Amino acid sequence: MSTADGLDDDVRALRSAFDGCSRAVVFTGAGISTESGIPDFRSPGGIWTKFRPIDYAEFVGSADARLEYWRRRFSTVGDMVSAEPNRGHMAVAHLVRQGKVTSVITQNIDGLHQASGIEEDRVIELHGNATYAACLDCGARHELAAIREAFMDDETLPVCGVCGGIVKSATISFGQAMPQDAMARAESETLAADLFVAMGSSLVVFPAAGFPALAKQNGAQLIIVNREPTDLDDMADLVIHGEIGPILGAAVGVN
């Protein structure tokens, strides 16, 4: 419902939560990037209505699975390179600049929080980053442009020039170990927060979805902003069902 100040009740509640907190953490999922044109996994038309995910064991165990993985990666659906941050990302960046939000924990692999101007060390990537690749054995970084060129030419699979290991997008697949450093940082930021706002995540992928619950159990206020209901709505202090860009943009005053 709109009121005299022109703000929806939900938007006003979100604004006052940010005003009243001293240390907020924002937790994001694929939903914050759909307004940048990157499909999420679970919405109608999302990536999983088109492809079954290739898990880590399949990737490592089968050259056919690796071929399929890179074909998808370089198809338009899997290509995030041309996407730009949207109003939701810019509103989060504004909150970080104001000092309200100390860090952004993200399940996203698109690098759009960094592209919105947030310093690298304030973005905690739980599922890695799809904008580059890495060797699974020695960790050496590999750029996608060179991999793409060789792959598009005759489907040459990338091999590490340093150690001969298998190269994969620097993301975490199902069945792959979580990045320990990012998990530890996410936990300590979550425990230090008095406000935790989860946006654009169905909150079904664990262990990532454990952070909102941890924040709440630790005494923080929990707010969820998502188009559809999530598994943790019952636990939250405030649930807003709607589009992130318009809601957060209005709450924070970013157009």
Is residue 228 at the binding interface for ligand NAD, with CB under 6 A as the rule?
Answer: yes
Using CB under 6 A, which of 42, 72, 122, 216 touches ligand NAD? 42
Q: How far is the CB of 27 from Zn ion (least distance, A)?
A: 32
Q: Which stretch binds ligand NAD (CB under 6 A): 107-115, 151-159, 174-182, 210-218?
A: 107-115
Is residue 179 at the binding interface for ligand NAD, with CB under 6 A as the rule?
Answer: no
Is residue 30 at the binding interface for ligand NAD, with CB under 6 A as the rule?
Answer: yes
Is residue 109 at the binding interface for ligand NAD, with CB under 6 A as the rule?
Answer: yes
Is residue 189 at the binding interface for ligand NAD, with CB under 6 A as the rule?
Answer: no
Return the number of the residue (46 or 165) whose C-beta is nearest Zn ion. Answer: 165
SS3 labels along the chain = CECCCCCEHHHHHHHHHHHHCCCEEEEECHHHCHHHCCCCCCCCCCHHHCCCCCCHHHHHHCHHHHHHHHHHHCCCCCCCCCCCCCHHHHHHHHHHHCCCEEEEEECCCCCHHHHCCCCHHHEEECCEEEEEEEECCCCCEECHHHHHHHHHHHCCCCECCCCCCEEEEEECCCCCCCCHHHHHHHHHHHHHCCEEEEECCCCCCCCCCHHHHHHHHCCCEEEEEECCCCCCHHHCCEEEECCHHHHHHHHHCCC
Cα–Cα dist 186/190, whole Å: 6
- Is 94 part of the annotated catalytic residue set? no
Is residue 205 at the binding interface for ligand NAD, with CB under 6 A as the rule?
Answer: yes
Choosing from 89, 94, 113, 127, which is the catalytic residue?
127
Residue 140's binding partner out of Zn ion, ligand NAD, none, with CB under 5 to 8 Å set by partner kind = Zn ion
Is residue 96 at the binding interface for Zn ion, with CB under 5 A as the rule?
Answer: no
Q: Which residues bind Zn ion (CB under 5 A)?
A: 135, 137-138, 140, 160, 162-163, 165
Q: Which residues bind ligand NAD (CB under 6 A)?
A: 29-31, 33-35, 38, 40-43, 46-47, 107-110, 127, 200-202, 205, 226-228, 243-244
Give the catalytic positions in this structure. 127
